[in-house]
Structure 1
């Protein structure tokens, strides 16, 4: 899967960017580095000023594309991938729900009514790139079903987290702007039904929808989720039509048929359009945007948000401990508990090659909450508490990554030795 390969490489780049941010924020350049992301940039037209800090443009603007790509991958899996089976999709959905509810509850239990209690959404999501990066290091030792389970879980809880952001961490609602959002979405649906395929047109309308969301009091990144889920998952040109067009081009004998205003040239151009449109809009957009998101937007996000001046900061130990425990303990407990309930209630099914041992070991990785945790933390916490939260998030991410990786190494090594000792299970007995 191309998405998994890109995410695995993105995990390395994201880690390097995080280390750079940590180093720069704890050196003599700390003040300049942190001040850089607070610089304002924007447009001024007469008396109208539209200006935001660079961190705001990264977190609310560029991250919209991150959520757009996440929504594209989710819809592709639900419509075209292995999650087309509702019971197969129900397992990661239940796991994601448990991975949001349990850590949020544990966080509130530990914090109580203290400062930062409103930041419960910080511990709800899993960092897709880091999780897939950990699995990529293990290579073929990890079954594909575990990769798909953790990828789907991370995508579902990212979607859940951004809905929490939109509802729980927005501002006062502007109903006129919300009306413009509805009009913009209706326009997108209408021109799609009319057969308009120009991607620049959709991006222009999407930009207007983002501006309306930004003014509405609902977090603007929700625009990326909605537009991603609205993107068509079926190709414009069927396989039968594509073969017919290519057969017509191939039928020409060797020679100079392609220059001038000839029928052969028109057939060749039609074949080029058909080859492009044979891929669904979801696949085309994912291929085009995913590398940019993985290797540009995510590193910029890490540079803008991961800087913690440790020596100069004052930490709230209760808050840091609550964040740490919710991610390291609450996430895997919630994932395993809700997965178990889904299977026992026959709402979901456990793939044959995915054992409960592998699922439990893999669930330890879900405590890596880096990207979305920092994203929500910027919205939910006062600046005086933010360094405490970042320390808890990054500490939990390191411990979760180490625990999950070591557990999977030990389990796959043990499983491999037992398989060599025991006779193979006949195909008729496999799930």
Structure 2
């Protein structure tokens, strides 16, 4: 029998907490929730309450002192504020995979990187060709990115019937895509630069780097610096979400307390005689607090922050983003508009051609290698799934298009993403059936 004292005490809440914790670990659940949020936004935008729903996101929130006004619409706070955390977690995941995960091998990371480059270049070229001479030419960034949650959600439908290396390939590709897209947003969809504010932001980034080198490990300190950097970048004219990317890539991957030191600290704690003597200014209490800090610091900051923030991003921030941005009225929707067709073509044709073509060239040239279990038919299916571009596509469309073209662009994003998801899923269905028969 396992000693009950060797585990944490059981509480009634654990009966609910444990299955909920397992639910949070399934990334595909975030995709399902995001899908429901999209449907809800579309339903409300086309209901009798559409005006109340759409006006709600234009509500201004902030502070005003005389002539100084720091207020933004609710949609702006979602897109520029909450989404900064989305990109922060995205960068944490990218850094963890490259430094600690499966992408440490340069030739393995080269495959999704090549696919991501192709998945950005070819759709953009296709979009620009179709929009030549049109007023929406500036919206080329709309067709660049892949939506991680929806892609993982599609793969989850097949369980272990798809190779895990396909999931890693698409996850890495989507991360590279999104980082590339946010860099394009920061540089291509910003405003006139305020160099003073940008300088303050760079000083803040320098302060974060200096604090890390000095060994400061206080989360509140870095949170305060992060808020200051965000405010500076927001005021500079560069899109504020780039602050999340930079800070995520700066987060250390090295643990502070080694395994040997952790065992030594825990051993000293366990050497105290049994009894309730953990309160007061005692040696036992000091050792207990030190053991708690050691356990926390035995996990790298990248992994610790990702574990804390990832559920909030997947189950709160992304659905809120969908509610704020996916609402569009279908009245007067016209698939004949050039921007709608260009976005659909970029996602449904440009994405798979770019991902597959650049991946093949990378392997053919010897720059990259196929991971074990990953075959070209599965990459073809994954290339179509990469055309699901909802989150970042809507994010960029909101920046790139005026009110007269935004609905047409959203129609193209939703339709193109749906077509790409359907084609990719059908190919995977056929592949898994063939593998089951053999």
Please classify the TM superposition score into its range, dividing by the shorter chain length. Answer: over 0.9
In the TM superposition, what whole-angstrom CA distance separates every residue of 1:13-47 from its partner, at most 9, and x where no partner exists?
10000000000010111111111111111111243
TM-score when scaled to structure 1?
Answer: 0.94
Report the alpha carbon displacement of residue 288 of structure 1 after superposing the two structures with TM: 1.1
Residue in 1 aligned with 2:294? Answer: 274
Query: CA separation in 1, counterparts of 2:131 and 2:257?
Result: 55
Q: Indicate which of 23, 36, 39 corresponds to 2:43.
A: 23
Aligned residue runs from structure 1 range 32-47, under 5 A: 32-47=52-67
Residue in 1 aligned with 2:163? Answer: 143
SS in 2 for 1:49: strand
Unaligned regions of 5+ residues in structure 2, if any? 1-21
**1:6–1:172 distance in 2 versus 1, CA, 3 Å:** farther
Q: Indicate which of 172, 177, 192 corresponds to 2:192.
A: 172
Q: Is the 8 A contact 1:316 1:388 kept in 2?
A: no
Residue in 2 aligned with 1:350? Answer: 370
Report the alpha carbon displacement of residue 115 of structure 1 after superposing the two structures with TM: 1.9
Report the alpha carbon displacement of residue 93 of structure 1 after superposing the two structures with TM: 0.6
Unaligned regions of 5+ residues in structure 1, if any? 419-431
Residue in 2 aligned with 1:324? Answer: 344
Residue in 1 aligned with 2:232? Answer: 212
Moved more, 371-380 or 305-314: 305-314
Structure 1's consecutive aligned runs of 4 or more residues displaced over 6 angstroms after TM superposition are: none
Q: Is the 8 A contact 2:23 2:29 kept in 1?
A: no
Report the alpha carbon displacement of residue 313 of structure 1 after superposing the two structures with TM: 5.2
Residue in 1 aligned with 2:116? Answer: 96
Q: Indicate which of 222, 236, 249 corresponds to 2:256.
A: 236
Residue in 2 aligned with 1:181? Answer: 201
Measured on the aligned residues, the alpha-carbon RMSD in Å equals: 1.5
Residue in 1 aligned with 2:92? Answer: 72
1:158 counterpart = 2:178: yes
**1:200–1:3 distance in 2 versus 1, CA, 3 Å:** farther
1:368 counterpart = 2:388: yes
Query: CA separation in 1, counterparts of 2:187 and 2:117?
Result: 17
Q: Is the 8 A contact 2:24 2:311 kept in 1?
A: no
Q: Is the 8 A contact 1:315 1:385 kept in 2?
A: no
SS in 2 for 1:44: strand
SS in 1 for 2:157: helix
Query: CA separation in 1, counterparts of 2:292 and 2:90?
Result: 29
Report the alpha carbon displacement of residue 254 of structure 1 after superposing the two structures with TM: 2.8
Report the alpha carbon displacement of residue 311 of structure 1 after superposing the two structures with TM: 1.1
Query: CA separation in 1, counterparts of 2:386 and 2:118?
Result: 11
Q: Is the 8 A contact 1:367 1:396 kept in 2?
A: yes
SS in 1 for 2:386: helix
Residue in 2 aligned with 1:14? Answer: 34
Report the alpha carbon displacement of residue 312 of structure 1 after superposing the two structures with TM: 4.8
**1:4–1:123 distance in 2 versus 1, CA, 3 Å:** farther
Q: Is the 8 A contact 2:108 2:368 kept in 1?
A: yes
Residue in 1 aligned with 2:103? Answer: 83
Residue in 2 aligned with 1:245? Answer: 265
Report the alpha carbon displacement of residue 3 of structure 1 after superposing the two structures with TM: 11
Residue in 2 aligned with 1:389? Answer: 409
Q: Is the 8 A contact 1:6 1:291 kept in 2?
A: no
In the TM superposition, what whole-angstrom CA distance separates every residue of 1:111-145 from its partner, at most 9, and x where no partner exists?
11212111110000000000001111110101110
Q: Is the 8 A contact 1:166 1:219 kept in 2?
A: yes
In the TM superposition, what whole-angstrom CA distance separates every residue of 1:76-130 from its partner, at most 9, and x where no partner exists?
0011001011111111111000000000001111111212111110000000000
Q: Indicate which of 109, 114, 124 corresponds to 2:144.
A: 124
**1:312–1:33 distance in 2 versus 1, CA, 3 Å:** farther
**1:127–1:207 distance in 2 versus 1, CA, 3 Å:** same
1:341 counterpart = 2:375: no
Residue in 2 aligned with 1:412? Answer: 432
What is the number of residues matched between the two proteins? 417
